[in-house]
Amino acid sequence: MPDMSASVSLAMTHFATFAKEVDEDKVTPGVLGFIVFAAMALAVWVLMKSMSKHMGKVDFKETPDPEAGSGEPSAEPRARQS
């Protein structure tokens, strides 16, 4: 067990040395920035899933407009008159 405390002490010494190398005048996003970014990413993912579900329910078949006029050609093929 004494080896573990020695390795923990050594790790903390290296960590403390690394922390002093960081420029104190530099602003970094930190943990709060990561949490905000992750929350926004999760919200976008949920919205995309919801939009996909709702778009699957949409019926894209158009009904012909009765006021469109008969001068325009119909998109539907006409039945042959023999």
Q: What is the pLDDT of residues 39-73, one digit of tens each?
A: 999 999 999 999 999 998 888 788 888 787 655 55
pTM over 0.85: no
Read off the pLDDT band of 80 (50, 70, 90).
Answer: low
Residue listed under structure tokens 């790790």:
11
Read off the pLDDT band of 82 (50, 70, 90).
Answer: low
CA-CA-CA-CA torsion sign (39, 45, 49, 50): positive
pLDDT for 51 equals 96
How far is 17 from 65, CA to CA, in rounded Å?
76
